[in-house]
Chains A and B, each alone.
Chain A
């Protein structure tokens, strides 16, 4: 069996895999525990090499990619961190051959570790630990059992919290007045609403923030990359033709809440995607390069704590990028040299998954909180698992009060309107949700952002 790291998010859960999955009971983060994502690892449709919508032999797809990289100016490279550090580093080398950077869309930030959660006496969370990062829940539970006070700031009441403050999108500025004191803060640093996370990060000490991230190697990837751009900035630059070519490594820009943004991809001269799973992005790309699934290859991964973890697959995961470098006449790279460089950049000589290395990272973001108008809001409560197509929730959560005021009957649909149009969706009544909020784990076509002002249409008798 191969020791692997679950690719569901950046928590770094340890597994073993061959024909079956087995949970590593001595894995430092999950101790043999696992959420739904880890168990669905093996149900992927593999991507095939394609050029201009037609299946091609891999060498032909590689040489087509190499040619496009050479002839297209202003190429941007994006890798959210769904690959190992070695592959990320190989990708940055490839980007540098055309004078570009790799953007991960998530800043390189490492905060507090799991042990700090367990030892805390006061914890403030900005996530729903039951849904967004389920494997963090048990550490919060442990702290609570040992007397920690848990305060939640979220869109609905959170069961584990001693005090639940429900956030109102129309008054989001109120988070600026939270007194964090010495509390440990748990938040989600993801590419969709960096403004929100940044506001919190700027208000606390780095040592007191646990920054959870959505992609397997978000932390490692961002630490190995240089200058960052947000996903929205990249779309803007594509629209303005400042970016003419885009190379996506295991990164689907379809995670953005507003699907209209995706039409910017049509402005590109060339779109290259290198990914393991076949999806709608494969159909959109000019060139598709199949990638090994991360859990099939070997390499290094950094979890949200900066803990260095190993995956022990058989492949090296860098073959396609190496071939592109070779085919473009550039200096070749090898797994061993990349691995040595990764360890050197991390300042370690060997990997010990039970020890979290020290990091000293300065991150002073300069962003402004977005303002949201309206009385009621649809909130896209994205989870890493949704982006990996493993969430089977096709309903929204609403309050009993909202259901009553709209005269909703069982088996009917909730009708909502935003500036983008109307949608009718299945709903679940949840007592902890406030009357002015609709929580959706799926992206709805009427979404304009993570938070979308909406109006409701009452059910007719």
Chain B
């Protein structure tokens, strides 16, 4: 096996194969990384229900096995959990599953010396988008007429969102769901990065058969992860078929096209400068100064935060200085992960605001954050 190879793989452990998504490969790679002592700890999402995943950090293989299975309605970014790992264990090694926005957050933190990327194994997960759990539960009741408590499995296939209960299986097209105000989070709809090419390898079901994962290996670490699991007898592999490769490319192409359409729809330019200013002033006026957006932001890396230091709640500015600083400071690094919008108690569309600003800056400087370690952050001087 070599870097650049595309294979299909699956777990040899029957339990993991059954519980994990697409043949349980990711769970097996994580357990193998611990068993083969490639890493000290693993970060994974422990599945509490179809609508709840809790990030855990563990070195216990059994705990990792409990995390098997995919969760589309638990939109969590693991970057800050990785940052905390390296705060506690600067010389430690870590493996984690990473959607493109997890991987991009981790790379941006690595550029700011908060994560040691050499010691971080990123098992990339293809991602067509995630959904808010409460919205999904409502969607199940209204659109699918399914009791959310009865859902045992969910899946995205050929543009349809499928929910399974013990009794039935129902599929509705994602377009239809999103037209009705459900479906993926807004930032996921316009995200064009579905295959985590910045990770060590990318795993997904596009182009794979039943109970298989399609894997593309990007780095030495990715190769090491695969070989380690094979040597430990935990996974099996086979070359990807030409048909599988084409299906994967086509699916990715369709997703990118849909994302572009959403981008155009959401980011209608506000050409008039005054109108633009009032747009920002108006939406920011609901801010309650909780700073939750900063707390959850995966790319926020300041030890002493300028956005807080230069902001005094006693000032009577008509526009929030805190947000102005954040808009500027994140304009090179915002990856559009949606965590700030998710957390905002005043429902300020923060990700949209940040992307409006970041799109212009990142286009101007031809800088896409979180893709690799080659280009340093535009606004940072080492």
Contacts from A to B (Cβ < 8 Å): 1, 16, 19-20, 22-26, 28, 30-36, 39, 130-131, 134-135, 137-138, 141-142, 159-160, 354, 392-393, 395, 426-430
Contact = CB atoms under 8 A, between A and B. Distances in A.
A393 B312 CA distance: 10
B286 A159 contact: yes
B56 A25 contact: no
Interface of A is mostly: loop
Contacts of A393: 313
Given A34-B292, A354-B137, A130 B344 contact: no
Nearest to A32: B342
Interface in B38-79: 49, 51-52, 54-56, 73-76
A24 B134 CA distance: 10
B19 interface: no
A354 B141 CA distance: 13
Most chain A CB atoms below 10 A, which of B285, B295, B316 = B316
B314 interface: yes
B74 A137 contact: no
Contact of B49 (A23, A26, A142): A26
B54 A1 contact: yes
Contacts of A428: 313-316
B268 interface: no
A141 B286 contact: yes
A428 B343 CA distance: 28
B345 A134 contact: yes
B347 interface: yes
A22 B286 contact: no
10 contacts: A1-B55, A20-B81, A25-B52, A33-B342, A34-B345, A39-B295, A131-B288, A395-B314, A428-B313, A430-B316
A264 B302 CA distance: 48
B347 A138 contact: yes
A130 B51 CA distance: 29
A25 B345 contact: no
B246 interface: no
B298 interface: no
A426 B286 contact: no
A33 B343 contact: yes
A36 B81 CA distance: 20
Q: 3 smallest A-B Cβ distances: which pairs?
A: A26-B133, A36-B290, A33-B345
Nearest to B133: A26
Interface in B330-381: 342-347
Interface of B: 49, 51-52, 54-56, 73-76, 80-81, 84, 132-134, 137, 148, 285-286, 288-292, 295-296, 313-316, 342-347
A159 B282 CA distance: 11
A39 B291 contact: yes
A138 to B, nearest CB: 5
Contacts of A159: 285-286
Contact of A130 (B288, B315, B342): B288
Contacts of B290: 34-36, 39, 134
A385 B299 CA distance: 29
Given A35-B292, A39-B292, 9 more contacts: A25-B74, A25-B75, A25-B133, A33-B292, A39-B291, A137-B288, A141-B347, A354-B137, A393-B313
Contacts of A137: 286, 288, 345-347
B292 A26 contact: no
A426 B342 contact: no
Contacts of B56: 1
A26 B314 contact: no
B181 to A, nearest CB: 11
Nearest to A429: B316
Nearest to A27: B134
A138 B287 CA distance: 11
Nearest to B347: A138
B54 A22 contact: yes
Given A26-B52, A39-B292, A34 B286 contact: no
Nearest to A2: B54
A134 B346 contact: yes
Nearest to A33: B345
Contact of B55 (A22, A35, A392): A22
B48 to A, nearest CB: 8
A239 B360 CA distance: 67
A19 B75 CA distance: 21
A26 B133 CA distance: 5
A31 B134 contact: yes
Chain B CB within 10 Å, residue with most, of A28, A35, A159, A430: A35
A398 to B, nearest CB: 11
Nearest to B345: A33
B84 A138 contact: no
Contact of B51 (A22, A26, A35, A39): A26
A151 B135 CA distance: 28
B95 to A, nearest CB: 19
Contacts of A135: 345
Contacts of A392: 313
Contact of A426 (B74, B81, B314): B314
B50 to A, nearest CB: 9
B314 A36 contact: no
A31 B51 CA distance: 11
A35 B286 CA distance: 13
B76 A25 contact: yes
B40 to A, nearest CB: 17
A33 to B, nearest CB: 4
Contacts of B295: 39
A423 B189 CA distance: 55
A426 B316 CA distance: 13
Contacts of B316: 428-430
